[in-house]
Amino acid sequence: MRFIPVICLLFGSWLALPVVAAEAQDWLERLADAGQSQSFQGTFVYERNGSFSTHRIWHRVDETGVVRERLMQLDGVEQEVLRVDGSTECVSGTLADQLGDQQAWSAHDLDSQRLLESYDLRIIGKSRVAGHAAVVLALSPRDQHRYGVELHLDQESALPLKSLLLNDKGQLLERFQFTQLDVGTLPTDQELQSGAGCQPVTASKAAAEVVEAWRSDWLPPGFTLSRVAERRSPASNEQVASLVYFDGLARFSVFVEPLRGVMVEDARSQIGPTAAVSRRLATADGDVMVTVVGEIPLGTAERVALSMRAIEGQAIQ
């Protein structure tokens, strides 16, 4: 009757699988809630394409649930971003582009249910980061249109202590890691006050107008339109439409800028995890440059760029 223990072992393992998956999802849901319910401040390092930078973050949740967050680069040119409930209020330099919605610490709208449609989720171990014990989650993509992520979450608060962005070969593309984190200490009003160089960010066109002007004939499975806006380009002074697509974790942006007769060639590049693809598109109101930028594979960005269409008579104002 030696087969009885074997059957019991297999049956027990089969029962354990959904338990492990449920535990991993629970951690992800705790992560999504952590930034909306807990105040913290700390210092972290950011690495991509062989370069490092150091940053300070102040994050406060007030009694009414409003979340204010200030992010400042500590080395090189002084740059900062101020956000309120996830929306950028002001920015100086290029910091918002370098450290934007892609980062694990900005998990205000992370959707654990949607993630399971595009990623396999599991707990792969434990670690220790910045003096905090952590549980390690792996999110492995189900297709070739997104990257994998390894998350190290604080066992006490579920705040992200470290995140690694990995390609399909397991190679590191990007690292975010706290070196010091103080959970529960409220940042002061002064610490959340932006500097004089932080310029307000405003949208000059209603989101509905941008949506009505542009559409995509193809999107990677799981990605949907999450935010639209329009802002003036500092280089050309033209109004640039911006559409942000989201899969529950990863994001990419599509920018549409009128060319007004300017001759610009198509371009494609991959710098670390960030793909950028630009193509000229003819519309009834004149040519525009469509640019797709995001931490997605280059082939995926190219396909999105080729799929963008103007709704004739609506695209250029």
pLDDT computed for residue 172 by the predictor: 94
Number of folded domains that form the chain: 2
Whether residue 142 lies inside any domain: the answer is: yes
Cβ(279)–Cβ(290) below 8 Å: yes
219, 88: one domain: no
Residue 126 to residue 161: CA distance in whole angstroms: 12
Which among 104, 98, 63 is positioned nearest to 81, based on CA atoms?
98
pLDDT for the residue 211:
62
Res 264: pLDDT:
86
Q: Select from 274, 305, 299 the least CA-distant residue to 97.
A: 274
As given in the structure block, the two tokens for residue 216 are 């995509």
| Helix (H/G/I), strand (E/B), else coil: 145 | coil
Q: Are strands 160-166 and 87-92 parallel, antiparallel or unpaired?
A: unpaired
Task: Please tell me whether residues 56 and 143 are part of one structural domain.
Answer: yes
Residues 127 and 266 in one domain: no
89 and 164 fall within a common domain: yes
pTM over cut 0.95:
no
Q: Are 58 and 191 in contact (CB under 8 A)?
A: yes
Same structural domain for residues 152 and 226? Answer: no
pLDDT at 214 (0 to 100): 85
Within the chain, strands assigned E span 40-48, 51-61, 67-73, 79-84, 87-92, 119-129, 132-141, 148-154, 160-166, 172-183, 199-200, 214-216, 224-232, 239-246, 251-258, 267-271, 274-281, 288-294, 308-310
The pLDDT assigned to 190 comes to 96
What is the domain extent for residue 210? 202-310
For the chain (317 residues), the mean pLDDT of every run of 10, in chain order, is 38 46 89 91 92 94 93 90 88 60 52 86 96 97 96 96 94 95 94 90 60 85 87 75 89 92 90 93 89 95 94 52
Domain CATH number, residue 25 = 2.50.20.10
Tokens of 237: 């002074």
Q: Determine the length of the chain.
A: 317
How far apart are alpha carbons 103 and 109 in whole angstroms?
Answer: 12
Phi, psi of 35 (to 5 degrees): -70, -20
